[in-house]
Amino acid sequence: MALPPEIPLRPATIAAQAAGATDQASGGVVPAIHMATTFARDENYAPLNPDNVYVRYHNENVRVAERLLSRLEQAAETLLFPSGMAAVAAVFRTVPSGGSVVVQSQIYWGTTDWIRTFCARRDIALHEVEASDLDALSAVCQAHHPALVWVETPSNPWLRITDISGAAGIAHGVGAQLVVDSTAASPALSQPLLHGADIVMHSATKGINGHSDVLAGSLSVSDAESSVWQMIRTDRDTAGAVMGSMEAWLLTRGMRTLPLRMREMSRNAMALAQYLSDHPQIENVLYPGLPDHPGHAIAARQMSGGFGGLLSFVVTGGSAAALRAAGRLQLFHRATSLGGVESLVEHRYTIESHTGIPEGLLRVSVGIEDADDLIADLGQALGQ
Ligand code: PLP
């Protein structure tokens, strides 16, 4: 049973009911897990179920999760991938050799690193620009007429905010597709397609799954007939960057609480940001929910229900002081990633010292624990 698309349900309802996915065969109120990799044909060689022939093309658990994500993202279609990076790669593989792309600078380092290598190997001209500066983005696009423009908002770990509708206008003005990595926001807080993006990408490993136990990526599109989307869809199924049934089922289960989790994480992150802003050991707090954040007004316009659980701050005293504070934390796991129900802390300089990241920067992914407990832990770790 699918929830009727003509009823304008709100995200919390769509998510809690998994867009209407149940198990028709057993009457179960949650979908079953289908582990078959291949599906039978009848004596006339017609598939018993025309939607199911071979699991690389046809996976019911993947379709259920994709339908749910499409409803939450207000997309025409969604494709799941076995990781966020597989989704990134699927987009860039559509750019012809000799083409050009514009990519936001100082985004998730894994994305930048892979794109640089891929573009060099494919003879694609890569232009990196601080896309939250729309004048700079416009100048680069006018000069190079890229096939695609890639932005990440809020960006990880700088928490920069790019105006999606402004970036879409610039990209479309030169005939480019705008792709937005919206991982830090999740569809619970932001729907980039409604602001003019052509494709929205997520590391669904993060907030969408929300429990640090599934590796996943997604692409959602506003025009499912576009030639770029046709290439992505065909390539995913034929080249085989597909997700397994168990992961897709877990992802659906995770998404049932997505709006609830993102609301709580945002509330907690805001409380921590305010606390850290007044802390004598803290030089700078990067969080778009703070009124003095340079992207606050844009974030308030294109996000709703909160500003997310990702927050960075710079500890006075550089690397040594930041590592000392991280080492003293008792509730925040010292681990990479973000978007899970448990809070994490990461010293990004240890991982990407060459990217201009401040030595004292700690990035935290704020979970759904009690905010007062998290603040008390930060207080003791920072020495007061
Ligand atoms: N995009 C962002 C913003 C990320 O933070 C990450 C992972 O940390 C990725 C993409 C890559 O996703 P995955 O680790 O699921 O491949």
Any atom of ligand 1 within 6 Å of the Cβ of 207: no
Centre of ligand 1 to C-alpha 84, Å, is 5
Strands 100-104 and 148-152: parallel
Asked whether residue 55 carries a pLDDT value surpassing 90, the answer given is yes
Cα–Cα separations (whole angstroms), residue 234 to 175, 227, 374: 23, 11, 46
Mean pLDDT value of segment 277-303: 98
pLDDT digits (tens, 9 = 90+) for 79-104: 999 999 999 999 999 999 999 999 99
At 7, the pLDDT band (50, 70, 90 cuts) reads confident
Instruction: Read off the tokens for 336.
Output: 């990479």
d(CA 269, CA 339): 12
Strand-pairing partners, residue 286, are: 312
Q: Annotated catalytic residue: which of 67, 160, 163, 181?
A: 181
* DSSP-derived secondary structure for 77-139: EEEEESSHHHHHHHHHTTSPTT-EEEEESSS-HHHHHHHHHHHHHHT-EEEEE-TTSHHHHHH
Sign of CA dihedral 316, 317, 319, 321: negative
Q: Give residue-wise pLDDT tens across range 12-33.
A: 999 999 999 999 999 999 999 9
pLDDT at 384 over 80: no
The token pair at 72 is 């939450």
pTM here? 0.98
Shortest-distance atom of ligand 1 to CA 337: 8
Taking CA atoms only, the protein residue closest to ligand 1 atom 1 is: 203
Q: Which of 67, 71, 206, 348 is catalytic?
A: 206
Averaged confidence pLDDT in the chain: 97
56 noted as active-site residue? yes
Q: How confident is the model at residue 225 (pLDDT cuts 50, 70, 90)?
A: very high
pLDDT at 5: 65
Tell me if residue 306 falls in helix, strand or coil: coil
Query: How distant is the alpha carbon of residue 69 from its chain centre?
Result: 12
Above 90 in pLDDT, residue 1?
A: no
Q: Which token pair is 334? A: 């010292």
Instruction: Find all residues with CB under 8 Å of 360, minimum gap 6, and list them.
Output: 283, 314, 315, 316, 317, 318, 319, 321, 322, 349
